[in-house]
Amino acid sequence: NFIFFKIDITDLNNLRKIFKKYKLQYVVNLAAQAGVRYSIEKPSTYFKNNLEGFFNVIYLSKDYGVKHFVFASTSSVYGNQTKFPIEENRNTDKPLSFYAATKKSNEVIAHSFSNIYGLPSTGLRFFTVYGPYGRPDMALYKFSKDIINNKSIKLFNYGDHERDFTFITDIVEGIIKIISKPPKKKIPYEIFNIGGNKSYKLKRFISIIENNLKTKAKFEYLPLQKGDVRKTQASTKKLNTFINKKSYVKLEFGIKKFIKWFNNTYENK
């Protein structure tokens, strides 16, 4: 029951053909231009994909009576916070990057569609997702590749970052359980954090990679980059209650799973 279409979400007419033909009941929009640092170099790409493209998907979801529109947001919308863990009701009016600004805009657009048209919408703020088949521009993949190639890992903010890492299976579980539970409030709109429930210093993260690769890393220490937040840590109390989630994949186990996949993939290239 799976059909794949390679399509540009900024192409409204082609996208409409799919909605019209398949009478979609549920939509999970994970399509976006991701990444904080690249958004500094190419903001127009983010504007086109994350705003125009997002609008097309939610607009058609409204037009064709979708029962629940679920979309990916990001922990980046929180900017620099000083109290942890971060609950969903924290202020998100000061994004540090254009990427974060586009995802905050997605949340505002979705809320307006829920308010005006009654479209049930749920935004999911993902916290640093990792795992097998992950994006090659993400830290885990890049660091692993640099280590095995004996290259120095670039550590911005002189390595003084902390991140809440979320294994891909926790993300998938959250999405699947939320799809069938559209908001039923007067304004049918909801926001959830999906995180790993714990923040790790970057050096600890790298040491786990080193242990699994059985190789020591080299480092190049650099200042904090524009757009980067210093620390993230999700409060998942709201999500845990809503989907009855009791546990999350531990970072040590998740990295071990990734490295096993990475070694097999890299050896076959």
Domains and CATH numbers, the chain: 12-267 (3.40.50.720)
Classify strands 199-201 and 162-164 as parallel, antiparallel or unpaired.
antiparallel
Q: What pLDDT is stored for residue 1 in this prediction?
A: 79
Other Cβ atoms within 10 Å of 137 Cβ, number? 11
Summarize pLDDT for 23-63 with one digit per residue, the tens.
Answer: 999 999 999 999 998 999 999 999 999 999 999 999 999 99
Structure confidence at residue 268 (pLDDT): 58
Tell me how far CA of residue 221 lies from CA of 147, 148, 160, in angstroms: 15, 19, 10
Regions of the chain short of the pLDDT cut 70: 268-269
Contacts with 21 (C-beta within 8 Å, 6 or more apart), sequence order = none
Catalytic residue among 46, 59, 99, 130: 99
Contact (Cβ atoms closer than 8 angstroms) between residue 79 and residue 100: yes
pTM: 0.97
User: For residues 24 and 60, what is the distance between their CA atoms, to the nearest angstrom?
Assistant: 10
pLDDT tens string 198-214: 999 999 999 999 999 99
pLDDT for position 269: 59
In contact, 153 and 220? CB cutoff 8 Å: yes
Q: How much is the pLDDT for 266?
A: 80
Q: Of the candidates 171, 36, 51, 53, which has an alpha carbon nearest to the alpha carbon of residue 108? A: 51
Percent of the chain scoring above 70 in pLDDT: 99
**Could you confirm whether 200 is annotated as catalytic?**
no
The per-residue pLDDT of the chain, averaged, comes to 97
